[in-house]
Amino acid sequence: MKTTVPASLFYCPYCQSDLIIQDKTWRCDGRLHQKHICHPFDVARQGYVNLLPVQHKKSKEPGDSAESIMARQRFLEQGFYQPLRTTLIGMIEQYLPKVCDDKKGLWLDVGCGDGYYTDAIAHIQEIPRLIAIDISKPAVSATAKRFKKQSKLWWQAKSNQTINNQKHAIEAEAPLPTGIYPIVSSAAQLPISDGSIHGVSSIFSPILPDEFARVLQAGGLLIIAKPDINHLASMRQELFEQVRSHDSDKFLEHLSTDFELLATEQVSSQLALSASQLQDLLTMTPYSYRAKVQRRQALLAKAQISPFITEAKFIIYVLQHH
C-alpha cells in the first residue's frame, strides 16, 4: 500500500531512480539503472529507513554512538537546552508562513540526533510532513522510536488520517497528524529531489550550502543553530589548557551565494550540573574524547562535591534561499 507521499520526493542512493514509498519496504523504480534493477530498502522495526550506501560511509559506524545518543536523551529531557528549543520553534513559526501559508510545508531536519528538536518542529501546524536525517543509525533509531510511540511515522499518520476523517467528517478544520520520515543518510548526499523542501534545519550539524540550496525551493528557509562565543566556557577551561572561542559566523560567507540572512538570535541559559548530568553533557559532545582523561576525571570529581556551574550560549540564524 503506497502512502500519499509522491514517489519523486526521494530517490535511490545507488542509481538515483525515484523511490516508491511503502509501509514495509521502499523500492526504487529502476528506470535510471542500466539493468532496470529495483533496489529495495526495508523499513526497520523501529520505523526508520537506511539510505546510506556502504561506499558513502567513512567508518564502519559513522556518526554519534549509541552511548552518546543515550547521554543526549537523558541530558536534553531534563530541560537544560529548552530555551534554545523554544526560541528555535518561535523563529520557524515566525518566518515559515512567509514561505508556505497553506499548512502543507515539507521540512528537513539535518543531523536530527535523538529527535529532541525534531519533535518540537513536528508540532508546528504548517509542517504536516517532516524528514529527519542523520548519518548515525543509533540516532535515527532513537528518533524513529520517539515518533512511533506518538503514532506519527508516515504510515501511522496515514492510518490516523483515515480514522480522523471518519470521526471528524463535519470538522473540516480538524488538524491531521504529522508524517515523519526518519532516514539514515549522509547530509552531503541527500537522497531528496531538487527543490522539494520548504525548510531545512541544521542544529549543531553540518552546514552544506550547495546541498541545502539544491533541495530547497526558491524562497525556502534555512535555520541554523550553533554554539555561540563562550559556549560552556567554564567547562572548557577545566578541560583544556588552551580554549578557543567558537567562531559562529565563519560559515556565512559560504552561504552568501545562495542565501540571504534574515535574522539572528542569541540564546543563553545557566546550568548547575550534578556529576551525572555533567557526565552526560561530556559524553554527548566531542569533549568526551578530545579532553585528557585526567582533566575529565578532575572535573567530574568537583561536581561530586557541589554542582558545576557553566553557561550554555547559542546563536540561531534564519536564512532564505534566493
For residues 154 and 34, state if they share a domain: no
Q: How much is the pLDDT for 171?
A: 34
For residues 255 and 118, state if they share a domain: yes
For residues 79 and 56, state if they share a domain: yes
For residues 69 and 14, state if they share a domain: no
pLDDT higher at 250 or 314:
314
Range of the domain at 73: 47-321
15, 9 Cβ separation under 8 angstroms: no
Per-residue pLDDT band for 98 (boundaries 50, 70, 90) equals: confident
pLDDT higher at 77 or 103:
77
Amino acid in the structure at residue 49: V
Averaged pLDDT, 268-288? 94
The pLDDT tens digits for 154-166 are 888 765 554 444 3
For residues 122 and 155, state if they share a domain: yes
For residues 37 and 174, state if they share a domain: no
178, 172 Cβ separation under 8 angstroms: no
The pLDDT tens digits for 12-60 are 999 999 999 888 999 999 999 989 999 999 999 999 999 998 876 767 7
Sort strands 197-203 and 216-227 into parallel, antiparallel or unpaired. Answer: parallel
For residues 292 and 182, state if they share a domain: yes
Closest C-alpha among 101, 247, 119 to residue 178: 119
Q: How many domains does the chain have?
A: 2
For residues 122 and 16, state if they share a domain: no
For residues 18 and 62, state if they share a domain: no
Per-residue pLDDT band for 101 (boundaries 50, 70, 90) equals: low
For residues 175 and 308, state if they share a domain: yes
Q: Whole-number mean pLDDT of the chain? A: 88
Task: Give the domain CATH number at 275.
Answer: 3.40.50.150
Q: Is the predicted pLDDT of residue 213 greater than 70, yes or no?
A: yes
- Cα(281)–Cα(260) distance, rounded to whole angstroms? 33
For residues 266 and 131, state if they share a domain: yes
Q: What is the model's pTM? A: 0.90
Q: How much is the pLDDT for 172?
A: 35
Q: Is the predicted pLDDT of residue 167 greater than 50, yes or no?
A: no
For residues 23 and 137, state if they share a domain: no
- Cα(180)–Cα(160) distance, rounded to whole angstroms? 13
Map residue 167 onto helix, strand or coil.
helix
